[in-house]
Chain A
Amino acid sequence: MLNHFEITFKSIIRDRIFHGIIFSALIFLLIPSVATLSMRQATELSMTLSLSLISFILLLLSLFLGGTHLWRDIERRYTYPVLSWPSSRSAYLVGKFSGIAAFIFLVALLLGGVAVLTVLITAGIYPPERPIVWNLFFLSIFFDACKYILIVAFAFLFSSVATSFFLPVFGSICIYFVGNASQQVHDYINAPATIGISSITKNMATFVYYILPNFSAFDFKINAVYRVPIQVSGVLMTGVYFVVYLCMVISVATLLFEKREMN
């Protein structure tokens, strides 16, 4: 498994599309000057922009790496020799997945470092009213990375059955939107002020809500930007949710991948 992990890591680093995506991190250079446009909260704005930029880069990475990596191995028949080796298919899939996951964490960490510099520069020019809480800042980036790793897991799930890249790429884009909206839709449907929805629809919606991923849980951007403290229980809950949900998705993916015919 470690073996697959290493090769995946190598492949990402040598990938040209990855170089292109990382190139977009140059936008960080613009953030301090853009942040000065804000009159009253330059530091907050630079934090918001940094976090959003990190999110955006991680989103691109997760869609591109998750959506094409496994699929390309199958499409280009790299899997023929590899899957005939003694290690199991699940080891291959999990190894590959953890390679990408580790990579996303690494990129998040690096970009987080760049973001800290950016925010420090802005804060140096326009000192904020309240001190910056770096713990919250990093926690927000960490959970953001978790969210995108979950998207990679879904992309792997789709790749394990897909014969073209449409399902993994567009499927995970859908998951991205659905996962971000699920809590809002749930709240709306279950707001008692919402009338005219039958109880059957409501129950079905609730059931779907239970199954779909909930990315709102991973959103701690506001806490980071406005230093709103997070309860430890909230962090733990989100962490446990991430691990369990991830295991669930990956176990379905391996199950399907084990059964897949390599024609």
Chain B
Amino acid sequence: MGGTKRHILSFCLFCLCYGLILGPFVNYMHNKPYAEKLGVLPTIATLKFLSADQKLLIGSSLVMRVITYFGGLAEMAKNKIEIPPDFPVMSRTIHAAVKLDPYNNDAYYFAQSFLVWDVGQIDIANSLLIEGMRYRTWDWYLPYFVGFNYAYFKHDFKSAAYYYQKAAELSGQELHINLAGRFMQESGQIDHAISYLTLMAKDASNPVAKKTFETRLTAFKQVSLIEKARDRFTLKYNRLPESVDELVRTGLLDKTPSDPYGGTFFLLPDGKVGTSSKFAFKNPKGNRPDSGATP
């Protein structure tokens, strides 16, 4: 039948056109700015109403969106493409997700992994986590996170000890009491962070989060190496080393440690270890309350 042939022909023609535009189109969609993709959210009350009986689904999808968005940014940063992440939107989205599904562990987990390190919003993260503790009453991670944030970022050791105690009660392990105890001496900050990050990285099931933790862990391990070398240097020469290079020259370090964030390590006049990358792939202005040069 002639008609059929004509139809097949026109179909093929359209497929060809589609093939032609597909490349540019996929490219266009790929480069559509991320800020647009994370999108805006209605107020939480509206969102709750609109989600009807699918609050859990919507909550999870919000978290997924943030994770994908953040993962994409990390990738771009690696490729030297600078797109400032929209932390306020991310934070809002996570908040909304938690309101829709207060049990959503992903949300807390992700909040803890970027709110505190990258945004420096310790108070926001803690209030989120403490709120979550009301729901996830069995979960020792949330108090553990809170305790860590109090101790490490805010140097509020009393609160830290309180939450570590809660975590210990829930987990039934002495680990957290030990942690708290070790940390109380206010020595070995970096080791404390390393043990925290090791735990986080080990349990991370989401590849983006895992990668975030592992990168930071690698960086901190390097810092720890430098600190140990510095301490040995001080013992040996009875003064602080002037630079990381000096430690290498004196054979206390095998080689100059490399910063996985792409920066270079240096020693501050008081002997603390800093890095030019400030432990971030990029440093969005105004999002960080303190310098963050040292861990």
Q: Do A and B actually bind? A: yes
For B211, the chain A residues whose CB sits under 8 A away are: 193
Question: At the interface, yes or no: B22 with Cβ under 8 Å from chain A?
Answer: yes
Pair count A-B, CB < 8 A = 92
On whether the beta carbons of A237 and B71 are closer than 8 Å, the reply is: no
For B26, the chain A residues whose CB sits under 8 A away are: 210
Question: At the interface, yes or no: B251 with Cβ under 8 Å from chain A?
Answer: no
Chain B residue with minimal CB distance to A259?
Answer: B4
On whether the beta carbons of A258 and B3 are closer than 8 Å, the reply is: yes
When chains A and B are docked, how far (Å) is the Cα of A245 from the Cα of B19? 10
Majority secondary structure of chain B interface residues (helix, strand, loop or mixed): helix
- Max chain B Cβ within 10 angstroms of own Cβ: one of A37, A194, A214, A225: A194
For A245, the chain B residues whose CB sits under 8 A away are: 18
For B29, the chain A residues whose CB sits under 8 A away are: 183, 214, 216-217
Q: How far is the CB of B188 from chain A (nearest CB, A)?
A: 31
Q: Which of A45, A194, A216, A251 contacts B208 (CB 8 A)?
A: A194
On whether the beta carbons of B21 and A240 are closer than 8 Å, the reply is: yes
Question: At the interface, yes or no: B153 with Cβ under 8 Å from chain A?
Answer: no
Chain A residue with minimal CB distance to B79?
Answer: A192
When chains A and B are docked, how far (Å) is the Cα of A214 from the Cα of B32? 13
For A45, the chain B residues whose CB sits under 8 A away are: 42-43
Q: Which of B11, B24, B72 contacts A251 (CB 8 A)?
A: B11
When chains A and B are docked, how far (Å) is the Cα of A212 from the Cα of B253? 55
For B179, the chain A residues whose CB sits under 8 A away are: none
Q: Which residues of A contact B (CB under 8 A)?
A: 37-38, 45, 48, 88, 90, 183-184, 187-188, 191-196, 210, 214, 216-217, 222-223, 225-226, 228, 233-234, 237, 240-241, 244-245, 247-248, 251-252, 254-255, 258-259
Q: Which residues of B contact A (CB under 8 A)?
A: 3-4, 7-8, 10-11, 14-15, 17-18, 21-22, 24-26, 28-29, 32, 36-37, 39-40, 42-43, 45, 64-65, 68, 71-72, 74-75, 78, 207-208, 211
Q: List 30 A-B contacts (CB under 8 A).
A: A45-B43, A48-B40, A48-B42, A187-B37, A187-B68, A187-B72, A191-B75, A193-B71, A193-B211, A194-B207, A194-B208, A195-B207, A214-B29, A216-B37, A217-B28, A226-B40, A228-B36, A233-B28, A237-B24, A237-B25, A244-B17, A247-B10, A248-B11, A248-B17, A251-B7, A251-B14, A254-B7, A255-B11, A258-B3, A258-B4
